[in-house]
Amino acid sequence: MDEKKETTRVEAFSDGVFAIAITLLVLELKPAIDHVLESHPEIGLFGAMWEQWPIFLAFVISFATLGIMWLNHHRLFNLIIRIDHTLLVLNLFVLFAATVVPFPTALLGEYSKDPISFRDATLLYGGAFVLVAIAYNALWRYATYRHRLLEQHVDVQMVKRINRQYLLGPLLYVIAFAFAWLSPALSLGIEALLAAFYLLPGIELKRPGAKQKSAQEVA
């Protein structure tokens, strides 16, 4: 019984930060529209939205990625049941990475017109996701090292599976980041694919031997 609950307030605080970061994204849409309509009022609202496609794409990608971050946080803190000072600090690092995301998202709304600043904004955007992936790895590696903060009867196979997934994440995001030099649009496309891939229910079904317990596992 004492086993549970140490993490309750960390989860509540983290939920709050994710919820706010994910909701603040919408605040960047209107200024991007205003920006276009001030100089070209004749193209109209839908024309302005079409012109500013990168901010809308970034809005959807950022929402999905922050949503996935929350799903992951949720999943990890189902396994992590003890906390210590280092874990709390690493969790702050994860939240820091999450709150940074709206900044490059907003930049994509205003600085996507000329190639140089579009590339720079996409680099910052990709960099934020790399930071997120590093922060999650640090948190997870620390918590699972010798199972120090995990539930006693934790499923060892699942810990290993998450370990493997967490090796892949930073690598994929570094690739997306690097592509920003070649083509910002391609970099955004890769990030959109990654978000879609993580959201697809498919990836869960493919896990070997995970079928029977998938409900609790995700919970």
Taking CB under 8 A as the criterion, which residues in 55-84 touch its own copies? 63-64, 67, 70-71, 74, 82-84
Judged by phi (left if over 0) then psi (alpha if -120 to 50, else beta), residue 5 lies in left
Alpha-carbon span 12 to 19, nearest angstrom? 10
Taking CB under 8 A as the criterion, which residues in 134-163 touch its own copies? none
Q: Kindly tell me which residue out of 92, 134, 154, 192 binds its own copies, with binding defined by CB under 8 A.
A: 92
Q: Are 90 and 80 in contact (CB under 8 A)?
A: no
Count of helices and strands (H, E) across the chain: 11, 0
Contact between 95 and its own copies by CB under 8 A: the answer reads yes
Least CB distance from residue 159 to its own copies, whole Å?
A: 18
**Total residues at interface with its own copies (CB under 8 A):** 65
Residue numbers of the site for its own copies (CB under 8 A)?
Answer: 6, 9-13, 15-30, 33-34, 37, 44-46, 63-64, 67, 70-71, 74, 82-86, 88-89, 92, 95-96, 99-100, 102-103, 106-107, 110-111, 116-117, 120-121, 124, 199, 201, 204, 214-216, 218-219
